[in-house]
Amino acid sequence: LVLESGDPKFEPTFISSASRHPHVFFWTCGQEKKEEITCTNTGTIWSAMEHSQAFIDFRKKNMKNEGKEKGQKTVDGIDFVIKCKKGYIVKHFPCCLVEEKDVLTIKTVRNNFEETVGHMVDENENYVTFTIDTVGGKNTRSKEILKYTNLKSYKPLCVYAKTTESIEQALKNDGRFSDIVFEQQCYLSETLQNTTVPVNHIAANLNGRNFDICLMKPKTTKLSTRRGQKKTFTKELSLMKENFSKIRQTFSEVKMLKKLLKFSDSVCHVIVKDVETVVGTGFVLFDNFILTNAHLFVRDNNERKDLKLLVDVSVQFNYEDNEGQDRNEFTAKKMLIDINKGYDSKNNIVDYAILEIDCGEQKSVPPGLLREYGPVPASGGACLIGHPGGEVKQMELTSILSCLIKDESLRKYEEDEHVVYSIKESLDQLKKDKDYFVTYNTSFLHGSSGSPVFDDKGRVFSMHTGGFPYMDPRKQTTQSAIEYALPLLPILENFILHLKEGNNLLVLKRVEEELEKNQLLKNHFQSSKTD
């Protein structure tokens, strides 16, 4: 589907999501009749359109016809691109960025393409929009800058970004640009102003501007010698080191420390009785339910055939010194609420277990962290809180690795003849799911699986799960090439799906009540209900 309307007009400054509600826009399928939509909640353009029954009927009709013409089943939403006054947009475009009383015209397109999920719209964020031509600029003559070439005629592409995020991350979140844009390094060129903008800059000053995407010359991305490094990688590494000092400053502020220390109360040491080699970390999700990693309890991929624990498991809160006087220990019930290790229905890697602990009558657990959820940040700082090595609770700061840093960090292992075979499986796994894993370097290894990972706003966005191991024959030890966390949102999606499949209405109701207390989760799952 293509939504089409008039010439681009732009606002001179950033746009606040909260300031744009309620607002009105229209849609039409190319006829004179227009359907009015009044948007009252922060969310995506897709979720706003889904409140129009006429649009739902139109979409279902066209999807049904499309499937018949192709002789195959058409997945709902795959054939959907959008254009407003600003240009062609994606369906996860924030509704607040659509101009008041804009008219959207809907048409069908005969080619399938997939969209990324983008950001979950945050009412506390400010946004900018800018356009990019579908035909690239310098050094793109023989390259396709678009992931789907059939989109070339639908221009300009209107991209949105948070004012605090990098341009590169905004392009990745958009989902319409090909891998060459990120692998070969790109920059934006503003022809009318004769200016260029590096993509590692934040997007705050881009609102209303028009760009071409240009690529760096290929020679700048090649290694000059075995010991050499990419020029772009050097710059990226330098920027990362510079940013880390800012990260430490942010996490060192008393206000942030107080918040993290408060949340750390909800982090617990997970103990598998009579199995000394198995220790982990977990945290309270809500009520007396603990989230941790499934690999603490199952070794192979698990299809949830048996949710019963075969050994005794307990969790300890306040394990912060070796004296142990303030430790508060609870026993986990034998029946797990949920466990999943392997791949989910969306082919995402999952590795989680949800325990229910027996609180008894005299004890209570710390508050759950579900309501403190935040989206996965594109870059910046992260804070892990857990029990590495099964020791006392600890806190560690790290930096989320960009794709460039991540790729360069792993390349050295590919070139090392001593470890290349040992690490090949790990490298293949990481490359396959490189946009899904949250990667960083940390000393949190054995025993810290299940630790919550917080962003620089104190929001929990993922669960530390492990590292990509390899055997170093020179040291005769198992090393970790890079460490990673799994995003929290897919875990929640699978958990809710399993609760529905198991007809566990009591727990499902409590989850839904907790989702209402986090605006990001509330918007996401409300939107999911209409898809």
Q: Write down the pLDDT at residue 449.
A: 93
Residue with tokens 């592409």: 157
Global model pTM greater than 0.85: no
Question: Are 453 and 460 contacting, i.e. CB atoms less than 8 angstroms apart?
Answer: yes
Q: Outline where DSSP puts E strands in 405-451.
A: 438-440
Question: Is pLDDT at 7 greater than 50 in this prediction?
Answer: no
Q: How far apart are CA 151 and CA 177, in angstroms?
A: 10
Strands 313-317 and 289-292 turn out to be unpaired
pLDDT band of residue 414 (cuts 50, 70, 90) is low
DSSP β-bridge partners for residue 291? 283, 354
Q: How far apart are CA 467 and CA 391, in angstroms?
A: 19
Question: Is pLDDT at 107 greater than 70 in this prediction?
Answer: yes
Token readout for 131 is 């356009």
Q: What is the pLDDT of residues 216-240, one digit of tens each?
A: 875 433 333 364 444 454 555 555 5
Q: How far apart are CA 218 and CA 212, in angstroms?
A: 18
Q: How many CB atoms lie within 10 A of CB 487?
A: 20
Q: Write down the pLDDT at residue 16.
A: 63
Q: How many CB atoms lie within 10 A of CB 232?
A: 16
Query: In the predicted model, what is the mean pLDDT of residues 457-465?
Result: 94
Query: In the predicted model, what is the mean pLDDT of residues 194-219?
Result: 86
pLDDT band of residue 408 (cuts 50, 70, 90) is low
Q: What is the pLDDT of residues 475-517, one digit of tens each?
A: 666 666 678 899 999 999 999 999 999 999 999 999 999 999 9
Q: Write down the pLDDT at residue 368.
A: 95
